[in-house]
């Protein structure tokens, strides 16, 4: 399958993408994960992207487009891909369209994951991450807390709040989403590719995506 997942930060794009890869061997491509890995490794891309990411701003289109042009031509994309976090702006969507045309490929579906704002805010502000770069286990202070002294249950390292998950950065990410990414909903509606799915339970959402792909 060749699918784009749209949705606000915290809508669960990563979780849904992972579950969908189990379906037919398509790969998950998360621009956020690729960028975080580049920051960790200290590559040129990582150095350029870090400031934008920490503030909750978007990384410039030119960097993202170059990165995705390369990634989408990797061999593992042959069985299909699930794009999680890309495109994030209209220029990115237009470049993706041109790139896929050049490669002789078409998108099957664009899914817009609809999640109430209260649920999103709650998820983002309660999320914590293990600070050990080789572990990065995810915790939630309400539903899955770390140890009492704030350490990772797997490796014992301190569990922290990601820099882009402070309240200020979260509010900025949501504002950026509304201004820059939400317009993609009408863009893909016009392209006759859009399916809106109210997403409260990941397994149910995955079933709805599979149904939409068949219809």
Catalytic residue among 2, 13, 36, 50: 13
DSSP 78-115: TT-EEEES---SHHHHHHHHHHHHHHT----EEEEEE-
Name the residue with the smallest CB distance to ligand AMP.
Answer: 32
Side-by-side strand order, sheet with 109-114: 27-30, 81-84, 2-6, 109-114, 194-198
The footprint of ligand AMP on this chain (CB under 6 A) covers a number of residues equal to 17
Residue from 16, 173, 188, 197 in contact with ligand AMP (CB under 6 A): 173
Report if residue 96 touches ligand AMP, rule: CB under 6 A: no
Q: Which stretch binds ligand AMP (CB under 6 A): 29-37, 106-114, 125-133, 192-200?
A: 29-37
13 tagged catalytic: yes
Report if residue 11 touches ligand AMP, rule: CB under 6 A: no
Residue from 45, 58, 152, 174 in contact with ligand AMP (CB under 6 A): 58
> In sequence order, what E strands does the chain have?
2-6, 27-30, 81-84, 109-114, 127-130, 138-140, 159-160, 194-198
Residues designated catalytic: 13, 88, 127, 162, 173
């Amino acid at each position: 399958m060749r699918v784009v997942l749209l949705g606000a930060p915290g809508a669960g794009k990563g979780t849904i993408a992972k579950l969908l890869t189990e379906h037919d061997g398509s790969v998950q491509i998360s621009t956020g994960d690729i960028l975080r890995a580049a920051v960790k490794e200290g590559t040129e891309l990582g150095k350029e992207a870090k400031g934008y990411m920490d503030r909750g701003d978007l990384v410039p289109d030119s960097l993202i487009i170059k990165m995705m042009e390369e990634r989408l031509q990797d061999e593992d994309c042959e069985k299909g891909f699930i794009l999680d976090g890309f495109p994030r702006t209209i220029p990115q969507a237009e470049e993706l369209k041109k790139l896929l045309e050049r490669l002789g490929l078409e998108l099957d579906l664009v899914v817009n994951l609809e999640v109430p704002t209260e649920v999103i805010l709650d998820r983002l502000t309660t999320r914590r991450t293990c600070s050990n770069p080789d572990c990065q286990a995810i915790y939630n202070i309400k539903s899955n807390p770390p140890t009492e002294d704030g350490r990772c249950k797997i490796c014992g390292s301190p569990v922290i709040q990601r820099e882009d998950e402070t309240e200020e950065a979260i509010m900025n990410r949501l504002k950026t989403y509304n201004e820059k990414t939400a317009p993609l909903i009408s863009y893909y509606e016009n392209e006759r590719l859009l399916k809106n799915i109210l997403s409260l339970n990941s397994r149910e959402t995955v079933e709805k995506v599979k149904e939409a792909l068949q219809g």
